[in-house]
Amino acid sequence: MRFKKELENIKTYEAGKPIELIMRDYGIDEKEIVKLASNENPFGASPKVTALIARLAGKIHRYPDDSYYALKTALAEKYKVERENIIIGSGSDQIFEFITHALLDRGDVVLQNKITFAMYAIYSAQSGAVTITTDSERHDLKAFEKLLAKNPKLIYLCTPCNPYGDALDKDDVFAFLDAVSAQTLVAIDAAYMEYASFKNTRKLIEPKELIERFPNAIYTGTFSKAYGLGGMRVGYAIARPDIIEALHKVRAPFNITTLSLAAAVEALGDQAFVRKSAEHNFKEMARYEAFAHEVGVNYEPSYTNFITLLFPEGRSAAEAASALLKRGMIVRDLKSYNLNAIRVTIGLTNENDRFFELFRDYWR
């Protein structure tokens, strides 16, 4: 049988290595493994959420409320929008899938940054759309503007952006949106926004203001990062109702679990946990920056919960990642992004200490 020809050109996503795999492949005990590879919240989830999960274990045979009433209501309150402005995804990742399936046809043009979250281009390739990228590695809206003449049907802006951690100012994003055709959908991937807006309020994009001013914008957020629910797979998008309605047509029913739904609602209610996480994150980030100066490695100032260390010529990031791995320290080698760099999630204080120790050992 013949599968679609587009599949031939698709490389599959390389996920951060899970702890189980390192235990299996290197025979290292779980207690000795530190995972700083997938931008998970080192505090875990809010204790209120983990307590709730334990209480709800007896309900896992029940399908979730497929209207996600409770979660949409809580998000609508938080962001001062209506339930009709919201769709729920299995991570914000799945929102990009919805956009792909609802919008993109073979030959359509998608514009994105040269270096950005890998899944955008993979989804676009699945639909046969053509991805064009800016020349610049960091998000540069002038570089995007130059490419508007290519008539993209979809533009991805990732702010703050994975894997560099750079973030755009809201005013610049809005000025850019003024220059974009109303026929182009602009997806603002704000997976790390809780961190960026904590560090610098100029980075904060409020979805309400965004969609009121720009009917062709869609804001995506996630519970996987600051809320500490990476394993629960819950994300959301906020946009005008006509966009949300179109995306709902390609959403499968029950696309998140019963426990994920409950966890997300509970997590939204514990904003103190999010603040504590962001506070810890940037305190520890300062230690990483000092460490980078100390050992002589470059980095990009980061608005996220990770820092990307750029290796000097002649030193291989892939080799460093591999050496760290053998000692139970999992970080993300960015070779698949064509970067000689590693991305390190900001961990607990003792986890970060361990990273500094192992990295120093390797580096000298």
Per CB under 8 A, which of residues 184..213 are in contact with its own copies?
184-185
Q: Is residue 178 near its own copies by the rule CB under 8 A?
A: no
Q: Is residue 345 near its own copies by the rule CB under 8 A?
A: no
Between 119 and 173, whose beta carbon lies closer to its own copies? 119
Q: Which stretch binds its own copies (CB under 8 A): 159-167, 249-257, 293-301, 306-314?
A: 249-257
* Interacting residues with its own copies between 65 and 94 (CB under 8 A): 65-67, 69-70, 90-91, 93-94
Rounded Cα distance between 179 and 62, Å, is 47
Measured from the CB of residue 48, what is the shortest distance to its own copies in angstroms?
11
Q: Is residue 36 near its own copies by the rule CB under 8 A?
A: no
Q: Is residue 272 near its own copies by the rule CB under 8 A?
A: no
Q: Is residue 50 near its own copies by the rule CB under 8 A?
A: yes
Specify the residue for token string 């001013």: 213
Give the list of residues 6+ apart from residue 142 with CB closer than 8 angstroms, or none: none
Cβ-based neighbour number of residue 346 at 10 Å: 27
Angle, alpha carbons 130-134-140 (nearest 5°): 140
Residue type, 343: R
Strand partners, 86: 238
Q: Is residue 131 near its own copies by the rule CB under 8 A?
A: no
Sheet holding 109-112, edge to edge: 86-89, 235-238, 217-222, 185-189, 154-158, 109-112, 130-133
- 160, 163, 207, 230: residue in contact with its own copies (rule CB under 8 A): 230
Q: Is residue 357 near its own copies by the rule CB under 8 A?
A: no
* Interacting residues with its own copies between 312 and 331 (CB under 8 A): none
Q: What are phi and psi of 298, to 5 degrees?
A: -80, 160
Between 123 and 355, whose beta carbon lies closer to its own copies? 123
Q: How many residues bind its own copies (CB under 8 A)?
A: 80
Residue type, 325: L
